[in-house]
């Protein structure tokens, strides 16, 4: 199945192709096969029900002062339109052309994102915020995570470069938001690997996705959620 690099899949594996494939980062993550989503406290469901604008979401992203010393913001990359072929993942292909080309999965109109490098190394952490109805957010993120973790191994070919992928579910963080998902992705190409952790939390009408080096995701997840859900 051929999809575009600007697809809903960009939120998951394909955006993370910007992580240098020449590095290996295995710090901080212990993969385990568990459910990809876990329910949070029911009392939180009534909070943050009104969708926020993209401008409002942007103010809730982490910045350099939030992260501390050693972090540099990555310039936003121009929109890419490279064809990407997904091989060996029926669950991912089953999402269909609409989902893969921006037909409502995670291409919500209200969104904001940022990314940082750390310590002059290849370690990175990226944050994405989306806002919509709770049901739409839950369905969109759930379908993507289920598809990704439903294929333990598969391959993508991006810009002519084959990349071997491996995905594993991780324990979702308890007590954060209303729903949580987490996975570990391993990108392998030319004999080298990059490990990326990705954790998503839905809190009412907000969806937070933090991706990057496992240790950095763990370090900043709570802080990102606290700022994203803070009262205006």
Measured distance between the N- and C-terminal CA atoms of the chain, rounded to whole angstroms: 42
pLDDT per position as a tens digit, 22-64: 344 434 333 333 334 544 444 444 455 789 999 999 999 999 9
Under DSSP, is residue 137 helix (H, G, I), strand (E, B) or coil?
Answer: helix
- Report the pLDDT value the prediction gives residue 35, as an integer from 0 to 100: 37
Could you say which DSSP state residue 46 is in?
G
- Domain 2-229 carries which CATH code? 3.40.1000.70
Cα separations (Å) of 38 from 174, 200, 221? Answer: 8, 11, 16
- Cα–Cα distance for residue pair 211/214, rounded to 1 Å: 8
Which regions in the chain score pLDDT beneath 50?
1-36, 38-46, 96-105, 232
Helices and strands of the chain, counted as H and E runs: 6, 11
- Cα–Cα distance for residue pair 229/194, rounded to 1 Å: 31
pTM of the model: 0.79
118: Cα within 13 Å, side-chain hemisphere: 17
**DSSP readout, 192-230?**
EEEEEEEEEEEETTEEEEEEESHHHHHHHHHHHHHHHHS
Domain boundaries, the chain: 2-229
pLDDT per position as a tens digit, 102-127: 333 467 889 999 999 998 888 999 99
- Cα–Cα distance for residue pair 2/222, rounded to 1 Å: 36
186: Cα within 13 Å, side-chain hemisphere: 18
- Report the pLDDT value the prediction gives residue 80, as an integer from 0 to 100: 56
């Amino acid at each position: 199945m051929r999809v575009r690099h600007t697809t809903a899949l960009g939120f998951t594996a394909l955006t993370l192709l910007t992580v240098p494939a020449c590095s290996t980062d295995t710090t901080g993550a212990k993969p385990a096969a568990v459910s990809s989503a876990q329910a949070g406290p029911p009392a939180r469901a009534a909070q943050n029900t009104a969708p926020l604008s993209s401008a409002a979401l942007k103010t809730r992203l982490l910045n350099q002062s939030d992260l501390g010393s050693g972090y540099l913001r990555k310039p936003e990359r121009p929109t890419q339109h490279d064809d990407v072929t997904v091989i060996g993942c029926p669950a991912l292909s089953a999402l269909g052309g609409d989902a893969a080309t921006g037909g409502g999965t995670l291409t919500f109109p209200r969104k904001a994102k940022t990314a940082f490098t750390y310590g002059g190394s290849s370690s990175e952490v990226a944050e994405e915020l989306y806002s919509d109805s709770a049901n739409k957010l839950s369905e969109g993120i759930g379908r993507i995570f289920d598809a990704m973790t439903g294929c333990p191994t598969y391959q993508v070919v991006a810009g002519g470069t084959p990349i071997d992928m491996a995905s594993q579910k991780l324990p979702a963080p308890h007590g954060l938001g209303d729903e949580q998902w987490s996975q570990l992705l391993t990108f392998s190409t030319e004999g080298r690997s990059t490990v990326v952790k990705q954790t998503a939390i839905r809190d009412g009408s907000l969806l937070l996705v933090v991706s990057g080096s496992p240790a950095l995701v763990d370090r900043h997840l709570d802080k990102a959620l606290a700022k994203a859900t803070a009262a205006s």
